[in-house]
Structure 1
């Protein structure tokens, strides 16, 4: 899902008429101080990352003055939470909170539901995970008619909202459900939304995740990649998305996997199909190697699409090998892979002489594909050591993850030792 940071989600809530605290984002201590001066009262300084538990991680601080906001921002902006660097903070007014609540709109994927679902609790805040199940109230929402005000009132009664507050809470939840639908959300979580001392309901936090398939309907969001990513968007992710977006012939998926260019043991990973990908990961894990990326060229893509994916995988700096993992007897015509790989290796291996390349390819047109690989790479494999660590395997090793992993490890050790000896 395409995910928004808290401040981004709140901006879209505000545009839809949902009350949020006065605030704005900042990328430096100076900007944080200016934002606090603009607000003109005590503020919360909240680190912005796609991770839960921010309060417990120490990246949410309450301060009284603009100078304190600057100092808090300086402290928070150098932190990392669950592997994600904090690059922005949200500076927003400190609320006079009377009571905290929790609500979220999610997709109920149960077979007898397949619809949006509202979850609500009067026990909102940091420790919502520890709230007993009986205190979290749930209701499926009609996907066509949405949450009607009378259903919201009944729901609030069941959740224990006092009679004098029913209309206010029902109206608030109904408006949130409309935003959920309008923005094609898969998740809209407000934890907490609060009642202030003057009786107002305000979204003190916001987690908004948009259905990837709907991104094309919302150019106003400015989402670059409609895909779930493990961290920040990288250049490889942008390249991978451009391949997928511009050529619909078969799958050509490519994304970053948290690759560290400095650390040894990363392999340019090029599986063919989802099941094959899991077996290839098993092959790497068994021998202590790590995937630099995830890829997939299944569904019978054309050679040019496979070429673009393989070229991107092999272009990653400082990898210790390349694995073409065809751990399935694929029914697609594998000569497209063979032709693409031959072209890519001729272009990339001269830049990385001796790089280990273990090629496992089997399935439809396997014999022709093996012939293309062997003939096309024969000269490269004997060309001054440029391709001396290319190994080609077919159906005899289709499920042999242990063998493939061990071969790749042995070759990677040789390659790393050779590079270390050369001082590279």
Structure 2
């Protein structure tokens, strides 16, 4: 009878597992459940509001404010996956420092976490962006990782054989690093499709930053790049990250600027500079943004353009790398700037 009730209880909430431990036999001969753990299927949580589950994640703690923000990002963009969990807010005794971790692919991410821990660091968070994520999702993941204070560096490494275009991830990281004016070292291993292009993007962006950003390929082992990361952190002389809002160009939200909405954000173009930047923007955007009667316009209907946020993010980064001012992709991360405090 107890087993039958256990099955009914599990099925009623679409549980993936239900564990009773211990099951106590009293002196009177009755069985009593002394402790129980139920794991609900992530995709079933929305169908069971009575359970009061705020985030469909298997955390060992109540969700933090940053985890809530990250979960909302995942819920608003299902292109690829984004998992974020905070692990430590201070470096362990004897550690070389607290590290922001960004993985890609579960197994490879775990191996990479082991490598950075073996190099003497404390991991502040576990993050995974995989399954061919949009550049916008990777950008938001990086922004959330860098909302954690006292990091000594940013370490990114995944499976190394991911069947996804690595340059999208590189563009997302490059945009986040520039906007936040990164001043702690970053080592990023982007192994997989188009890894050479991805490494080139990071190397070019590194020249615009105050701290080194180094890109690596699948042939570079997690242990090797963890060792290199340790060298860069040591060279930084104990610098620690202070979370900050992103740099935003002055023409953003100016009434005279041109704005086009995209998924969870918008493109801003300095209309006054359009004649000077027109040719480059048309090229870098793949002619998603074109000229019409001397003013910026879109080549697609608004509903189609809204899905091209990754391509427009790439245009944002390439324009920045070319030294062009006048184009900016604004991507919303509700609650993040308020959590950090203030705007630039």
- TM-score (ref. length: structure 2): 0.61
Give the SS at the match of 1:297. strand
Q: 2:21 and 2:223 mapped to 1: Cα distance? A: 47
Question: Which residue pairs with 1:223 in the alignment?
Answer: 53
8 Å contact from structure 1 (residues 189, 207) kept in 2: yes
Q: What do you get for the CA RMSD once the two structures are aligned?
A: 2.5
- Aligned position for 2:232: 411
**In structure 2, C-alpha distance between the alignment counterparts of 1:282 and 1:204, rounded to whole Å:** 37
1:206 aligns with 2:35: yes
Alignment match, 2:117? 285
1:245 pairs with 2:66: no
1:5 is aligned to none
Q: For the residues of structure 1 that align with 2:121 and 2:108, how far apart are their CA atoms?
A: 17
Match of 2:214 in 1: 391
**What is the aligned partner in structure 1 of residue 201 from structure 2?**
372
1:309-324 → structure 2 map (5 Å cutoff): 309-324=141-156
Contact 2:154 2:187 in 1 (8 A): yes
Matched, 1:258 2:88: yes
In the other structure, the counterpart of 2:223 is 402
CA shift, 1:299, in A, is: 1.2
Cα-to-partner distance string for 1:117-150 (whole Å, 9 max, x where unaligned): xxxxxxxxxxxxxxxxxxxxxxxxxxxxxxxxxx
**407 and 175 in structure 1: CA distance in 2 versus 1, 3 angstrom threshold:** closer
The equivalent of 1:333 in structure 2 is 165
Alpha carbons 1:335, 1:366 under 8 Å: kept: yes
The 5 A counterparts of 1:172-191 are: 173-185=3-15, 186-189=17-20, 191=22
Contact 1:254 1:293 in 2 (8 A): yes
* Rg (Cα) greater in structure: 1
**Cα gap change, 1:205/1:373 in structure 2, threshold over 3 Å: closer, same or farther?**
same
1:346-391 deviation per Cα after TM superposition (whole angstroms, max 9, x unaligned): 12235xx3x01112223212233233223333222xxxxx22x322
SS of the aligned residue for 1:275 comes to: helix
1:360–1:394 contact (8 Å) kept in structure 2: yes
Residues 167 and 197 in structure 2, CA contact (< 8 A), matched pair in contact too: yes
Shift of 1:294: 0.9
* Residue of structure 1 equivalent to 2:128: 296
Secondary structure of 2:180's counterpart equals: helix
Where in structure 1 are there 5+ consecutive unaligned residues? 1-169, 381-385, 420-424
How many aligned residue pairs are there?
236
Q: CA deviation at 1:173?
A: 4.8
Q: Which has the higher contact order (CA 8 A, sep 6+)?
A: 2
Structure 2: runs of 5 or more not aligned:
241-344
- Secondary structure at the counterpart of residue 20 of structure 2: strand
Alpha-carbon distance, 1:216 to partner: 2.0
Q: Which runs of structure 2 are paired with 1:97-176 in the superposition (5 Å)? A: 170=1, 173-176=3-6
Distance 1:363 1:183 in 2: 39
4+ residue runs of structure 1 moved beyond 6 angstroms? none
Return the TM-score normalized by structure 1. Answer: 0.51
